[in-house]
Amino acid sequence: MEISRRALMGGATALAAAWSGGVRAQGSRPQTGGAPGQRIKIGVLSDFSGIYTDLLGPGGVACVQQAVADFGPEQHGFSVEVVFADHQNKPDVGSAIARRWYDAEGVDMVIGLPNSSVALALAFVTAERNKACIGTAVTSMDFTGAQCTPNTINWTYDAYMLAKALGTETVKAGGRKWYFITTDNAFGNAIQGETAGFVQQAGGTVVGNSRYPIGATDYSSFLIAAQGSGADVLGLALGGTDMVNCLKQASEFGLRDRMRVAAPVMFLNDINALGLPLTQGLLHTNSFYWDASDRTRAFTQRVLPRMQGAYPGMVHAGCYAGTLHYLKAVAALGVAAAKASGAAAVAKMKAMPADDDAFGRTVVRQDGRALVPAFLLQVKKPEESRARWDYCKVVTEISGPDAAKPLAQGGCPLVRT
């Protein structure tokens, strides 16, 4: 049975409408008393009406706003305006919005970009217009690999990070034969390919794979194929409400009793939508968990009033950290120089170490990959949870350099050997 799309997205859609007014008001009434023209404009480009609404959407806007508030641009003599738009998970729509923002509306930096196909299209447009772009939900390795640009940064995760710990550790624990259900787009193919590679390196095998179009609601044929394949692990290379619906149907088919379910891409909002009885025991990799440390808890408490009842996941936290570091780079470089060249602003971000309550001390590599740590998380049993949103426990922490693909293997033309 499909979880109601309206039930899952209605709250987030309402929040998007409610927050739109707040963001537009901020734009017409800048936060600082900086001199005319000394204003940075940030655009949050995300899915506000589809399967990734809860993943980033309004929560991403809230975290960008929190970063602006924590930075305090008025102390640095400039103002910040935040706008947002819905890319509808379509690269042409996202590109058109970015061109309008860059050419006619004075946007200096775009952040967000759930959906790797949209992100790769935005990387091209951003480099063409010499602006800055920070991806916080980009799975494709090409974003910091073959299609890397001097204008782009990937902050939160990629396919390599998500796949490494999960694929290796599951095989070590006895899950040797894998069957994948994969979203047939850049996101799904990237995460499936990376996870399969780590499974095979650890001595496991991939016995089959079903690909499906994004937004599908009936997974029965794929689940039957997985069940008949002889696999002992079902790998789900998908996300958003696709993950929610597929996991629910897998449980109804009884696959949880016969196969391990491994979710390379699992987000806090997915666990909240599904509930602990359905997700308990699932291993997954995230680069941020709200209850991991005193600093992550402090950030969470500050942003909660803006989140309208939801807790921040790693993509939301990436919006916060990426925006905060960008504003620090603007202050160091100078507003005029940052507005004139997005590549110069990104270069300054690479030259300066980042430090924030969401991820701690971080550096950005030559290829644009932010070396944030990764946590192997396990979903708690219902009786282990103390309250709503207390969903996970940390199994292992992996350092940022160890969690990222080695620089020399990425294929980014910017890398100097």
CATH number at residue 143: 3.40.50.2300
pLDDT at 398: 87
Same domain, 48 and 37: yes
Q: Is residue 139 part of a domain?
A: yes
pLDDT of residue 19: 40
Alpha helices in 262-355 (DSSP H): 268-274, 276-279, 294-307, 314-333, 335-340, 342-351
Whether 414 maps to a domain, the answer reads no
Range of the domain at 265: 160-286+373-403
Q: Helices (H), strands (E): how many in the chain?
A: 16, 14
Distance between CA atoms of residues 271 and 382, nearest Å: 12
Q: Is residue 416 in a domain?
A: no
**301 and 397 co-located in one domain:** no
Q: pLDDT value at position 215?
A: 87
| Bridge partner residues of 375 (DSSP) | 286, 397
Strands (E), 39-127: 39-46, 79-86, 109-112
- Position 196 in a domain: yes
* Number of Cα atoms under 13 Å in the Cβ half of residue 86: 15
- Do 209 and 173 sit in the same domain of this protein? yes
pLDDT at 37: 57
CB 249 within 8 A of CB 219: yes
Same domain, 189 and 305: no
C-beta separation of 32 from 73 below 8 A: yes
* Shared-domain flag, residues 377 and 233: yes
In a domain? residue 417: no
In a domain, 247, yes or no: yes
> Is 413 inside any structural domain?
no
The reply to whether 142 and 196 lie within a common domain is no
Residues 122 and 201 in one domain: no
> At 397, is the secondary structure helix, strand, or coil?
strand
171 lies in the same domain as 132:
no
Looking at the fold, whether 259 and 223 belong to one and the same domain comes out as yes
44 and 142 assigned to the same domain: yes
pLDDT for the residue numbered 283: 84
Q: Residue 410: inside a domain, yes or no? A: no
Cα distance between the two ends of the chain: 53
Q: How many domains does the chain have?
A: 2
238 and 362 both lie in a single domain: no
Query: Which residues of the chain fall short of a pLDDT of 50?
Result: 1-36
Say if residue 158 is exposed, middle or buried (CB neighbours under 10 Å; 0-12, 13-18, 19+): buried
Q: Count CA atoms within 13 Å of residue 77 on its CB side.
A: 8
Q: 132-135 and 109-112: which strand pairing?
A: parallel
* Residues 271 and 307 grouped into a single domain: no
Quote the pLDDT of residue 2: 27
CA separation for the pair 202, 74 (Å, rounded): 52
Q: Pick from 148, 155, 107: which is nearest to 129 by CA?
A: 107
Amino acid found at 365: R
395, containing H or E segment: strand 392-398
